[in-house]
């Protein structure tokens, strides 16, 4: 284990922790729209939390898909993605739509019907 100038150890368990016993630092804690707007693109990319995106829809943004929900309902929509520090996937009904509702967290199946946007 490496030691700092004060003789304190540092290892993988303490990286990202400001002091022993504290929780890891969260770069999004206290985030506001003003703070987000003041950040550069590269800085935003580093702190953006993509954990709310639907894994089955990742990479299909701009595609029309046919998705079967876990309850067996079949829906067709264009995959969109919201903006900001915690984006979600969107179900956009038509190419003329300006936004849509949030996508499900998982689907029984997803099939691409081709790129539209």
Q: Where are the domains of the chain?
A: 2-47, 50-115
CB 99 within 8 A of CB 80: yes
pLDDT digits (tens, 9 = 90+) for 51-60: 999 999 999 9
Tokens of residue 36, six digits:
């987000």
d(CA 30, CA 18): 17
- The verdict on pTM exceeding 0.85 is no
Give the contacts of 110 (CB within 8 A, at least 6 positions apart). Answer: 56, 57, 60, 65, 66, 67, 68
pLDDT digits (tens, 9 = 90+) for 12-48: 444 444 455 555 578 888 888 999 999 999 999 888 9
Beta bridge partners of 80: 90
């Amino acid at each position: 284990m490496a030691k700092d100038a004060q003789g304190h150890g540092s290892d993988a368990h303490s990286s990202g922790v400001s002091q022993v016993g504290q929780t890891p630092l969260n770069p999004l804690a206290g985030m506001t729209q003003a703070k987000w707007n003041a950040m550069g693109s590269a800085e935003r990319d580093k702190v953006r939390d993509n954990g709310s995106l639907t894994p089955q829809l990742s990479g299909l943004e701009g595609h029309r898909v046919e998705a079967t929900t876990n309850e067996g309902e079949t829906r067709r929509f264009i995959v969109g993605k919201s903006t900001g520090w915690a984006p979600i996937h969107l179900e956009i009904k038509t190419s003329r739509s300006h936004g849509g509702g949030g996508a499900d967290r998982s689907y029984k199946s997803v099939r691409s019907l081709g790129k539209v946007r």
